[in-house]
Amino acid sequence: MRITRKAVLASVATVSVLALAACTGADEGAGGGAGDDDNAGINTDTALNIAWDQPFSSANTESTTGNATKNAVVMYMANSRFNDYDHDLNLVIDESFGTYTKVSDDPLTIEYTYADTAQWSDGVAAGPADLLLEWAAQSGKFNNVEAEYDAEGNVVNQDAIDAGIFFDASNPAVALIEDTPEIDGDSITFVYSKPFADWETAIDNNLPAHIVAQRALGIEDAEEATDALVSAITENNSEDLAKIAKVWSDDWNFASLPDDPQLLVTSGPYNISEFVEEQYLTLTANPEYKGDHEAVFNKVTLRYNGDPMGQVQALQNGEVDLISPQATADVLTALEAIDGLEVESNIEGTYEHVDMQQANGGVFDPATYGGDAAKAQKVRQAFLKTIPRDKIVQDLISPLNPDAEVRNSFTQVPGSPMYDGIVGMNGQATEYGEVDIDGAKALLAEVGVPSVQVRMLFDPNNTRRTNQFEIIKQSAAQAGFDVVPYTVQVDWGTDLSNSTSFYDAALFGWQSTATAVTESDANYRTGATNNYYGYSNPEVDALYDELQTETDPAEQERILGEVEKHLIDDAFGVTIFQFPGVTAWNTSKVGNVQKISISPTIFYGFWEWTAGEAAAE
């Protein structure tokens, strides 16, 4: 297999991880088509079309490769989980799938029990082996080799990967479960080696263990395959684990409809029935689903279009029924002029920011200055002093949200309980509250670097990002920085992680996937999932270790404040604004749309949607 690190752009992992937004034919795929008497209660004539910006690429949202919102919104409808957030961002257990109970605080012990109605779409019961597999994959306990990458994100030790055990995942929370979990009937028990503040979102259901084992071990019978997988994990069978890891990491990555229906087996209300690369993906109601989150629409099709105004036009033309494009004043004005729509403006859980490469041989890397870290740091600081954060907000965001303000925290949303305290500690508002061209020039003169070219990565097809780039470019030029667009290798999202040698600064957004206090760990810890920049500070790592076990909100605020102070002192980057949002839908096709600020945004509560009179295909 060829492994590359894929971008996590608008990303969901069950643990605290920020994430990176035609005509249909005959139904295909696991679980059979929907449109017969098996789908009691579902109007098999109903269909809903939704515009989305990035195409699906993986059904394994817990792998490093698949951990992206573009995948998670699909699997949110296709798979069941032990819990989900409600509209008020409270965690709610789906008892029709299973329950969990804290058995003990010392040591932290959690028991998960699958419900009788928890079932995969091929008729096999979901059960403890599925969660045991996720523990094996995400804990890192069995990995005996790690992928090594070149600057373009290509694996350079492929032979070692193929010969060893390599689960393409990293979950610090699951790594705290050091002892092999115990299975008892329909239950599995996890014992943490130390307390963990966000244990409720640490691990959840993902891939079907029986199918992973069937594919990896060549066992046809589902029950026998499941037993073999459990034995491989509990007995640490290296030969079998190597095969299991390869299948878990690779097989559920696909950019069009796979030929093998095993890869389309799901545990939730929908199956993937059609998928045309870069064009659309159709979900069809799963006739084998027995839970409480029953599908309202027989078919839901995601039609991929990254152009916000293109989505508006598609909605006006009746090609799609629901959109939530990146908001601009032009988008909002155009939507408000269309009859028959419900249009809502809101604040999203995504924030804009600029990060800088520190280990790619570029202008912000100490290696460029003979290993002089202080010199590279001052060049980074100089660049950050030129970024006109307030102008960006006033010119591009205030027309949509008059109350918009510059965001000054890496971990907290403006207005949240910890925001003011952490902003008071981190120093971002003081250091980079206003553009300081003279200060930037002085820093560059001090280190003897009068002019610097900065290659900036951003989405060139995104109007707002293009406008931000131009504002930054013009400001930075006054201090001697020549800011140029990055050289596209594949696409900006994939290049974010795979082509790090081709850019020096990245302009994009992180989307919150949970309310977990440890969510930002994946961004700033050394070697973490979303840390694409080579940033490493042992004190930050130690602070996150401390945060994992801290349950006192005051102490959590102190720890995160210290983390952010290091990020500012190290000139990691800057935050700019919280995304304004706009959502619009055709009220004759769909009702009761309840977008939430974190992933899965507009897909939240799809089982509570209502189908309008015009919802028939």
Residue with tokens 């500012």: 568
Provide, rounded to the nearest whole percent, the portion of the chain with pLDDT above 70: 93
CATH number at residue 198: 3.90.76.10
Decide if pLDDT at 437 tops 90.
yes
With a cut of 90, say whether residue 514 has pLDDT above it.
no
Assess whether pLDDT exceeds 80 at residue 4: no
DSSP code at position 58: B
Amino acid 19: pLDDT: 54
266-307 pLDDT per residue, tens: 999 999 999 999 999 999 999 999 999 999 999 999 999 989
316: closest CA among 615, 585, 54?
A: 585
More confident residue, 264 or 499: 264
Q: Is the pLDDT of residue 8 over 90?
A: no
Residue 11 has a pLDDT of 31
Tokens of 528: 């973490």
The DSSP code for 393 is: I
Cis peptide before 128 (omega within 30 of 0): no
Residue 92 covered by a domain: yes
Number of domains in the chain: 1
Q: What is the mean pLDDT of residues 452-462?
A: 93
Within-domain flag for 170: yes
- Is residue 440, in this structure, part of any structural domain at all? no
Tell me, yes or no, whether 66 lies in a domain.
no
Give, as one character, the DSSP assignment of residue 469: H
For 317-347, the pLDDT digits (tens) are: 999 999 999 888 899 999 999 999 999 988 8
Residue 213 lies in a domain: yes
Domain that holds residue 116: 80-205+208-251
pTM value? Answer: 0.80
> How confident is the model at residue 151, as a pLDDT?
59
Cross-strand pairs, 454 = 483
- Does residue 256 carry a pLDDT above 80? yes
CA 114/CA 172 separation, integer angstroms: 24
- Reported confidence tier of residue 65, pLDDT bands at 50, 70, 90: confident
For residue 138, tell me if it sits in a domain. Answer: yes
User: What's the token pair of residue 555?
Assistant: 């102490």
Q: Given this model, what pLDDT does residue 251 score?
A: 98
Q: Output the CA angle 448-449-450, nearest 5 degrees.
A: 105
pLDDT score of 44: 84
Residue 5 pLDDT grade (very low, low, confident, very high; cuts 50, 70, 90): very low
Q: What average pLDDT does this structure show over 251-262?
A: 97
**For residue 14, is pLDDT > 70?**
no
Q: With respect to residue 326, please indicate whether it lies within any of the assigned structural domains.
A: no
Lowest mean pLDDT among 304-313, 425-434, 478-487, 509-518: 509-518
Element (H, E) at 576: strand 573-586
Q: Of the candidates 15, 20, 6, 5, which has an alpha carbon nearest to the alpha carbon of residue 70?
A: 20
Mean pLDDT (the chain) is 90
Q: What is the pLDDT of residue 67?
A: 83
Phi and psi at 313, nearest 5°, equal: -65, -40
> Which residues, other chains included, contact 442 with Cβ-Cβ below 8 Å and sequence gap of 6+?
none
Chain segment 559-593, per-residue pLDDT in tens: 999 999 999 999 999 999 999 999 999 999 999 99
Where would I find the beta strands (DSSP E) of 418-538? 452-457, 481-485, 505-511
536, pLDDT greater than 80: yes
Tens-place pLDDT, residues 137-171: 999 999 999 888 775 567 788 888 888 999 999 88
pLDDT average, residue stretch 596-611: 93
Indicate whether 230 belongs to any domain. Answer: yes
